[in-house]
Structure 1
Amino acid sequence: MPVVIVAHLMAKPGQEGLVEKVFREAVPEVHAERGCSRYSLHKKAGSDGHFVMVEKWDSEQDLQAHREGAVMARVGKALGAALEGPPDVVVLEALPAGEPGKGAL
C-alpha cells in the first residue's frame, strides 16, 4: 500500500539557501530510489525558511529504506545545524474520492 508523507522543515535564519541547495541536490538521487513515486520540494508561500517536502512511496519498506539510506544520511549531516529542529513529518492515509488520479496522491 502506498505511503504519503508531508514533511515540514524550518531553516534557521540565514540558512534558507543552504537548505534549498541541499534538497535540490538530493532530489534526483531520491527519485532513483526504489519505490519513490513522488519526492517534491516546496516552500510555504510568503516564507523564506519554511520548506515542505511531499513524498509518495510504494510501500512502508521503501520509505524505511529511504530514511535509512545514504542520501538521507548525507542530507541530515549537511543540515543538522541549519534547521530549527527535526522535521515535522505527517504520514497520511488516503481517502480516495472523485476521479481516479485526482482524488488521492
Structure 2
Amino acid sequence: MANPIVVVATMLAKPGEEDTVEKTLSGAAVSVHVEQGCLLYALHRKSGTPGEFVMIEKWASREDLDAHLRGAVMREVGVALRNALAAPPDVKLLDALPVGDSNLGTL
C-alpha cells in the first residue's frame, strides 16, 4: 500500500474577492470528498486574516493526488479563481512521520 500524502495549500484572495475564493473552495469540497483516495479535504481561514485560506488535504497515494489535480473539479476551481487570487497558491506536499499515539501523531 502506498503512503498517504498530505497537502497544505495556502491561497491569498485579492481584496474584495474573499467571498469568491471561499465559495469556490467550499463548493468544490462535496465533489472532492467522493474522489478516489480522498482521505481529507478541509478548508480553513487564517485567524484574523479574512483573505487568507488554507486547504489541508490527505490523499491515499500520490497517484490519487495526481488524478485529483488533473480532474474536472480542479480545472473548474482554477478557472473560478484565475482572477481572484493575489498570487499563485503556495502548495506544500508532506510525507507523514507518525509519532507517538497512532491516532494523535499523524493526520
> Considering the TM-score relative to the shorter chain, is it more than 0.5?
yes
1:47 maps to which residue? 49
**Aligned pair 1:96/2:101, yes or no?**
no
Q: Using the alignment, how far apart are the partners of 2:8 and 2:56 within structure 1?
A: 5
Q: Using the alignment, how far apart are the partners of 2:101 and 2:26 within structure 1?
A: 32
Number of residue equivalences: 105
Correspondences of 1:54-93 after superposition (within 5 Å): 54-93=56-95
Q: Kindly report structure 1 stretches of 4+ aligned residues shifted beyond 3 Å.
A: none
* Residue identity in the other structure for 1:72: M
TM-score scaled by length of structure 2:
0.96
Unaligned runs of 5+ in 2: none
Unaligned runs of 5+ in 1: none
Q: Using the alignment, how far apart are the partners of 2:31 and 2:87 within structure 1?
A: 24
In angstroms, what is the RMSD of aligned CA positions?
Answer: 0.5
Question: Residues 80-103 of structure 1: CA distance to partner in whole angstroms, max 9, x if unpaired?
Answer: 000011110011121111101110
* Residue identity in the other structure for 1:86: P
